[in-house]
């Protein structure tokens, strides 16, 4: 076994974390995939598995170590146990890289141009696609998310989506690799010329696409984004509930909001109200809003209950806007405990009286004739189908979250980057309200207009008010969805398998 290559794979996986927020060294994505390919191109199946596994472990061990904060601070586990469980999750997630690149090696027909420019990028995206739906899914740290700040590729986001952009980034990395090989050895002139041509086409073609509008403006509202800055443990107490209810009433009646118009909406974060929402409470809010007659309404996160007494994490439209959205993709150890009988031996994750949440079924757009809000709660914004299912009808996106679980580490920044990419994918404004940050207003190109930084020590409510342009229509990605590109991945692997079979047949 080549242990030096295992270490090199781990180092490259660790290094690619720097491409994501808050570091934002996106240019390393043009180097690292090509270097990983160099590590495994001459190796057998067994070594390829371990090299790519260690690459994945470097990515996950450093990229999601913020999960340890959730397990220790809010789960009651010791720091040692919290670190162990986080690294155990990283070890599991690393299997997706190992399996995908091993599959690349198994179907590789050793046709160099095809291998470099199609099969290897397809294998990279395969690892991300598998991770999106297997074992409830964890669609985090996709390489394509780095493109939201990459001025050389931003124009392709609403056309290709996250998987297409990921494929393009890895392809570009392979192009640079082929370019260097061609300059070093002119017998590789075919790859040299092809690489130069493709890179020129991609980078030049990006320029007009960056400013192209796939959606059109249909109106405007005034959005007030609220960040309560209440810690989770306080939030789930009676004192915390009273505090947030008082903050809501104060926000609805304070003088600075008297300049709001009938097109003004207040956005509150996930589970702002920790008590089960009741009809009389909704009517009380509605009466307060309508009494002022200067507010379109508000969207607020609350717990709701159905007839069978299952509790849902919901967003509710109140005032002159209506609709209920229930969270579909729940956070393991955040809203439910998988294998709870086993993990309860080690720690009590709901040690601050938080109820177990069930996956909901309501997917209503929140709004009225003017405004159609497509919603995503917390980390489910990382799932593409959340906004794709309503892309034709919606004219504004909303992400309500509670990133207090993640502390002030990498998690909130990575989460915000995903939200920005969703806005650019659909070319629609996205409002993001969180309990303790990072809250933001994001324009239709994924750029931040205004934000409130993350904080775990502030006690005062923060907010800002900005105009939001409502955008109707669909981008090419929103119209076609992700399935056409996934079909292309299948075709690439299928053709490669046929080429591999013919090559092996000719050897006998």
Query: In this predicted structure, which of 258-262, 392-396, 430-434 has the lowest mean pLDDT?
Result: 258-262
Burial of 455 (0-12, 13-18, 19+ CB in 10 A): middle
DSSP β-bridge partners for residue 373: 366, 396
Predicted pLDDT of residue 257: 47
Residues 401, 232: contact at Cβ < 8 Å?
no
How many CB atoms within 10 Å of residue 2? Answer: 13
Q: What is the pLDDT of residue 308?
A: 67
> CA 326 from chain center: how many Å?
18
The mean pLDDT of 456-461, rounded to a whole number, is: 74
pLDDT at position 35 is 95
Strand partners of residue 471:
217
Look at residue 181 and tell me whether its pLDDT is greater than 80: no
CB-hemisphere CA count at 13 Å for 227? 28
Question: What mean pLDDT comes out for the span 463-488?
Answer: 94
Assess contact for 356 and 350: CB atoms under 8 A. Answer: yes
For residue 73, what pLDDT band results from cuts at 50, 70 and 90? confident
Give the whole-angstrom CA distance, residue 114 versus residue 504: 17
Mean pLDDT of 151-169: 97
pLDDT at 163 over 80: yes
Which has the minimum average pLDDT: 5-9, 58-62, 129-133?
Answer: 129-133
Query: In terms of DSSP bridges, do strands 430-434 and 439-442 run parallel, antiparallel, or are they unpaired?
Result: antiparallel
The DSSP code for 21 is: T
Among the listed residues 427, 344, 349, the one whose alpha carbon sits nearest the alpha carbon of residue 158: 427
324: its two tokens: 């209920």
Three-state SS letters, 136-187:
HCCCCCCHHHHHHHCCCCHHHHHHHHHHHHHHHHHHHHHHHHHHHHHHHCHH
CA–CA separation, 411 vs 334, rounded Å? 14
Percentage of residues of the chain with pLDDT beyond 90: 53
CA distance to 173, 419, 435, 453, 457, per residue, from 462 (Å): 42, 20, 10, 10, 13
pLDDT digits (tens, 9 = 90+) for 87-114: 999 999 999 999 999 999 998 877 777 8
Averaged pLDDT for residues 292-314: 77
Contacts of 373 (CB under 8 A, 6+ apart): 299, 317, 321, 323, 365, 366, 367, 394, 396, 397, 398
Cα-based torsion angle of the residue sequence 393, 396, 400, 403 in order, rounded to the nearest 10 degrees: 120
Assigned fold of 216-330+360-474: Nitrilase/N-carbamoyl-D-aminoacid amidohydrolase (3.60.110)
Mean pLDDT for the stretch of residues 245-272: 72
Please give the DSSP secondary-structure letter assigned to residue 89. H
Residue 178 binned pLDDT confidence (cut-offs 50, 70, 90): confident
Q: Which residues of 161-177 are buried (b: 16+ CB within 10 A; e: fewer)?
A: bbbbbbbbbbbbbbbeb
Separation CA 312–CA 212 (nearest Å):
40
Residue 354: what pLDDT?
A: 64
Residue 324 and residue 304 in contact, taking contact as beta carbons nearer than 8 Å: yes
- Name the pLDDT band for 312 (thresholds 50, 70, 90): confident
Q: Tell me if 441 sits within 8 A of 468, measured CB to CB.
A: yes
**Letter string b/e over residues 18-33, b meaning 16 or more CB atoms within 10 A of that residue's CB:** bbbbeeeebebbbbbb
Q: What is the pLDDT of residue 216?
A: 96
Supply the mean pLDDT for the chain. 85
- 126: Cβ contacts below 8 Å, ≥ 6 apart: 100, 103, 489, 493
Q: What pLDDT score was predicted for residue 479? A: 95
> What's the whole-number mean pLDDT along residues 482-489?
91
Judged on CB neighbours under 10 Å (0-12, 13-18, 19+), 472 is middle
Q: What is the mean pLDDT of residues 169-191?
A: 77
Report whether pLDDT(254) > 70: no
Task: State whether the Cα torsion 17-20-23-26 is positive or negative.
Answer: positive
Least confident piece of the model among 78-82, 182-186, 189-193, 356-360: 182-186
The whole-number pLDDT of residue 256 equals 46
pLDDT on residue 403: 84
pLDDT at 66 over 80: yes
- Mind listing the pLDDT tens digit for each residue in 184-223? 665 556 677 878 888 999 999 999 999 899 999 999 999 9
Hunting for tokens 């990605």 — which residue is that?
Answer: 477
Higher pLDDT, 11 or 185: 11
Q: With contact defined as beta carbons under 8 Å apart, do 51 and 43 qualify?
A: yes
Residue spans per domain, the chain:
3-212+482-507, 216-330+360-474
The predicted pLDDT at position 507 comes to 55
Find out whether 28 and 18 touch, Cβ atoms under 8 Å: yes
- Confidence (pLDDT) at 255: 44
How far apart (Å, rounded) are the C-alpha atoms in residues 290 and 263?
13
The three-point CA angle 333-335-339 to 5° equals 50
Q: What is the pLDDT of residues 274-300, one digit of tens each?
A: 776 654 455 565 555 555 546 678 899
pLDDT of residue 337: 57
């Amino acid at each position: 076994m080549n242990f030096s290559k295992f270490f090199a794979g781990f180092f490259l996986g660790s290094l690619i974390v720097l491409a994501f927020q808050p570091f934002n060294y996106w240019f390393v994505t043009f180097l690292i995939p090509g270097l990983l390919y160099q590590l495994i191109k001459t190796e057998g199946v067994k070594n390829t598995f371990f090299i790519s596994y260690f690459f994945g472990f470097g990515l996950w061990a450093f990229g999601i170590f913020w999960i340890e904060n959730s397990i220790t601070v809010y789960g009651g586990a010791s720091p040692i146990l919290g670190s162990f469980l986080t690294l155990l999750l990283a070890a599991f997630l690393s299997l997706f890289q190992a399996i995908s690149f091993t599959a690349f090696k198994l179907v590789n027909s050793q046709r160099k141009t095809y291998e470099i420019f199609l099969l290897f990028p397809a294998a990279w995206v395969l690892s991300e696609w598998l991770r999106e739906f297997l074992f409830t899914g964890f669609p985090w740290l996709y390489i394509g998310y780095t493109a939201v700040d990459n001025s050389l590729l931003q124009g392709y986001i609403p056309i290709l989506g996250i998987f297409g952009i990921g494929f393009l980034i890895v392809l570009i990395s392979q192009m640079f690799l082929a370019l260097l090989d061609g300059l070093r050895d002119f017998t590789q002139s075919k790859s040299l010329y092809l690489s130069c041509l493709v890179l020129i086409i991609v980078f030049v073609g990006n320029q007009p696409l960056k400013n192209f509008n796939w959606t059109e403006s249909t109106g405007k509202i005034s959005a007030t984004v609220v960040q309560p800055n209440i810690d989770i443990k306080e939030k789930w107490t009676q004192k915390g509930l009273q505090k947030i209810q008082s903050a809501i009433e104060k926000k609805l009646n304070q003088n600075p909001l008297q300049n709001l118009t009938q097109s003004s909406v207040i956005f509150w974060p996930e589970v702002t109200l920790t008590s089960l929402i009741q009809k009389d409470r909704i009517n009380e809010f509605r009466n307060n809003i309508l009494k002022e007659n200067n507010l379109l309404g508000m969207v607020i996160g609350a717990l709701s209950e159905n007839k069978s007494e299952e509790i849902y994490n919901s967003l509710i439209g109140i005032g002159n806007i209506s609709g209920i959205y229930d969270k579909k993709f729940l956070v393991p150890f955040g809203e439910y405990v998988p294998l709870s009988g086993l993990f309860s031996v080690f720690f009590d994750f709901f040690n601050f009286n938080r109820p177990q949440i069930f996956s909901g079924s309501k997917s209503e757009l929140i709004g009225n004739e003017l405004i159609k809000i497509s919603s995503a709660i917390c980390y489910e914004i990382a799932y593409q189908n959340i906004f794709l299912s309503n892309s034709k009808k919606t004219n504004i996106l909303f992400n309500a979250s509670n990133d207090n679980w993640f502390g002030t580490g990498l998690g909130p920044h990575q989460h915000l980057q995903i939200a920005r990419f969703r806005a650019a994918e659909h070319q629609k404004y996205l409002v993001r309200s969180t309990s303790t940050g990072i809250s933001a207003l994001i324009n239709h190109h994924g750029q931040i207009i205004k934000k409130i930084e993350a904080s775990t020590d502030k006690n005062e409510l923060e907010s800002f008010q900005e105009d939001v342009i409502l955008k109707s229509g669909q981008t090419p990605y929103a119209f076609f969805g992700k399935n056409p590109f996934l079909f292309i991945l299948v075709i690439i692997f299928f053709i490669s398998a046929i080429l591999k079979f013919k090559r092996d047949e000719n050897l006998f």
